[in-house]
Amino acid sequence: MEPLLFFLKGIAAGFVVAIPVGPVAMLCIRRTLATSMISGYATGLGAAVADTIYAIVAAYGISFIADILFTNNFWFRLIGGVILCLMAARMLSAPPTESKAQDTGKLFGDFVSALVITGTNPITLIAFGVIFTSIDVATAGDRYEWAEALIAGVFVGSAAWWVLLTGLTAICRRWVRELSLTWINRISAFVILACGALTVIAAIAPESAIGSLIALPKSAGQQ
pLDDT of amino acid 45? 95
Dihedral (CA of 120, 122, 123, 126) sign: positive
Instruction: Using a pLDDT cut of 70, give the percent of the chain over it.
Output: 74
pTM summary value: 0.72
Which whole number is the average pLDDT over 196-202? Answer: 79
pLDDT(178) > 60: no
Three-class DSSP category at 1: coil
pLDDT score of 170 more than 80? yes
Angle at 137 between CA 133 and CA 143, to 5 degrees: 135
Mean pLDDT, to the nearest integer, of 135-139? 65
Q: What local confidence, expressed as pLDDT, does residue 215 receive?
A: 57
Domain ranges in the chain?
A: 2-222
Q: Quick one: pLDDT at residue 21? A: 65
Of all helices (H) and strands (E), which one includes residue 70? helix 63-71
Q: Is 146 exposed, middle or buried (0-12, 13-18, 19+ CB in 10 A)?
A: buried
Min mean pLDDT across 55-59, 120-124, 171-175, 208-212 is at: 208-212
CA distance 66 to 134: 20
pLDDT band, very low/low/confident/very high, at 159 (cuts 50, 70, 90): very high
Q: Minimal CA–CA distance to 159: which of 71, 44, 61?
A: 44
CB 166 within 8 A of CB 37: yes
221 vs 46 pLDDT, higher one: 46
Average pLDDT over residues 186-210: 76
Provide the b/e sequence for 183-221 (b: ≥16 CB within 10 Å).
ebbeebbebbbebbebbbbbbeebeeebbeeeebeeebb
- Give pLDDT, residue 210: 64
121 or 176, higher pLDDT: 121
Q: Residue 181 has what pLDDT?
A: 63
Q: How confident is the model at residue 33 (pLDDT cuts 50, 70, 90)?
A: confident
Query: pLDDT-derived band of residue 54, with 50, 70 and 90 as boundaries?
Result: confident
Show the DSSP H helices in 174-208 as ranges: 178-204
pLDDT in tens, 84-120: 788 778 767 766 555 555 556 688 889 998 998 888 8
Predicted local confidence at residue 222, as pLDDT: 44
Residue 16's nearest CA partner among 124, 173, 147 is: 124
Contact present, 91 and 188 (Cβ < 8 Å): yes
pLDDT greater at residue 133 or residue 154: 154
